[in-house]
Amino acid sequence: MSDLQTNLGYTFSRHSLIKHAITHSSFVHEQKLEAGDSNERLEFLGDAVLELCISDFLYHRYPDMNEGDLTKKRASLVCEATLASLARKLKIGQFILLGQGEASEGGREKDSILSDVFESILGAIFLDGGLEEVRALILRLYEPIADKASRQAKDFKSTLQEVLQKKSNETALYTIIKEDGPAHKKEFTAQASHQGKILGTGTGGSKKIAEQEAAKMALEKLKKR
């Protein structure tokens, strides 16, 4: 675990947090551990911390950029592909605790798993050292790539919000309405709604992908109106 901390440039005071952050649900399922032993709750926290830090970073770095372009640039920086790329840079894959089945299927190189573990590690650092410690890591990773990030990222949720804002100040609401499959290999179904009306549904191997698919369907429906 010390090698991972060296790669991160951060040493944990509570070592249980870093182990928790790299524990995938497939490992928990295979080892018959408690559901709460997986990194999913830390991923939820890390996702929020990352969005806050990136939003603050972009706000100050690009003072003349409008809200729409800031949103698109943020989307490109926090998308699954970018997070997975950063996880590879930190060599996170080799440290993930995976079930044998998931590992044999190349789980250590899957974008979905790498991006989730990256976020869970951010959540763990936030709990261990506070906001400024995790912000320092995020800035160190993102400053070299910020200018290269495309403002035209294929982010259906952001595009949908731009369309909806022309008629209303209310944001789209995303709800996970169904989960199928075993704990280590779930498929999620998300629903996008606005002002009480269902606009679209989508499925995917992660909640984020399912929400993007729901937004994509919503955009397709709105175009036909």
Catalytic machinery residues: 47, 119
Q: Measuring CA to CA, which residue among 30, 36, 20 is closest to residue 184?
A: 30
Token couple for 24: 């995938």
Instruction: Compute the distance between CA of residue 120 and CA of residue 132 in angstroms, rounded to an integer.
Output: 17
Contact between residue 118 and residue 110 where contact means Cβ atoms under 8 Å apart: no
Instruction: Compute the distance between CA of residue 31 and CA of residue 51 in angstroms, rounded to an integer.
Output: 32
Contacts of 169 (CB under 8 A, 6+ apart): none
Instruction: Compute the distance between CA of residue 59 and CA of residue 71 in angstroms, rounded to an integer.
Output: 10
Is residue 4 left, alpha or beta, with left meaning phi > 0 and alpha meaning psi from -120 to 50?
alpha
Contacts of 12 (CB under 8 A, 6+ apart): 5, 18, 124, 125, 128, 129
For the packed helices 207-224 and 156-165, what is the interaxial angle rounded to 10 degrees? Answer: 40
